[in-house]
């Protein structure tokens, strides 16, 4: 369980910053995108939140069936969605066992290979960090200058 707690702390050190950035996005800006080919910010945030949840659920369930499902919640309020998905993901991670972390999961359809639960969580974290960088750009371009550090170690 110490391994799970360490990962949970790592997840929350990044997710708290993601949620802080999300709190700066007003409803009127949900369709904002910095370039024509960029994802609108509301869709980006929904993608970030639901993706990490799907990765964690895949590790918990031992299969990738959740990737074929639609997101359970379409946000009208991005901060509310962030709180809901953070809690749901936190709960999944909290109860992962060492066996689930070491379990090999068929991810051939998505990644072309089998991956362990630990590898999937690392991919989820890398994905979150990548898009959090995008989110910093979006929020700054919306005019916000009082931004958090990249990671919250507090």
Domain assignment present for residue 153? The answer is no
Number of domains in the chain: 1
- What average pLDDT score do residues 119-147 get? 96
Residue 94: which domain range? 2-141
Of 90, 122, 23, 25, residue with least CA distance to 33 = 25
Does residue 114 sit in helix, strand or coil? Answer: strand
Share of the chain above pLDDT 90, in %: 87
Domain assignment present for residue 150? The answer is no
Q: Which residues contact 73 (CB under 8 A, 6 or more apart)?
A: 81, 84, 85
Domain assignment present for residue 70? The answer is yes
- The tens digit of pLDDT for each residue in 33-74 reads 999 999 999 999 999 999 999 999 999 999 999 887 776 546
What does the block give as tokens for 72?
């359970």
Q: Return mean pLDDT, the chain.
A: 93
pLDDT at 5 over 80: yes
What does the block give as tokens for 61?
């369930």
pTM given for the model? 0.92
Of 97, 67, 81, 83, residue with least CA distance to 4 = 97
Residue with tokens 């910093």: 136
What does the block give as tokens for 110?
């998505």
- The tens digit of pLDDT for each residue in 25-34 reads 999 999 999 9
Instruction: Check which CATH number belongs to the domain holding 37 and give it.
Output: 1.20.120.450
Domain assignment present for residue 148? The answer is no
């Amino acid at each position: 369980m110490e391994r799970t707690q360490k990962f949970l702390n790592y997840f929350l050190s990044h997710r708290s910053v993601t949620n802080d950035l999300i709190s700066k996005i007003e409803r009127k800006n949900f369709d904002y995108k910095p370039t024509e080919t960029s994802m609108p910010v509301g869709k980006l945030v929904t993608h970030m939140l639901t993706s990490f949840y799907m990765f964690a659920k895949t590790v918990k369930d031992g299969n990738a069936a959740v990737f074929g499902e639609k997101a359970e919640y379409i946000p009208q309020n991005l901060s509310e969605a962030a709180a809901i998905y953070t809690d749901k993901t936190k709960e999944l991670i909290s109860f992962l066992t060492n066996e689930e972390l070491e379990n090999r999961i068929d991810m051939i359809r998505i990644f072309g290979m089998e991956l362990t639960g630990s590898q999937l969580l690392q991919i989820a974290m890398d994905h979150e960090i990548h898009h959090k960088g995008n989110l910093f750009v979006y929020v700054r371009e919306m005019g916000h200058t009082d931004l958090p550090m990249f990671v919250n170690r507090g």
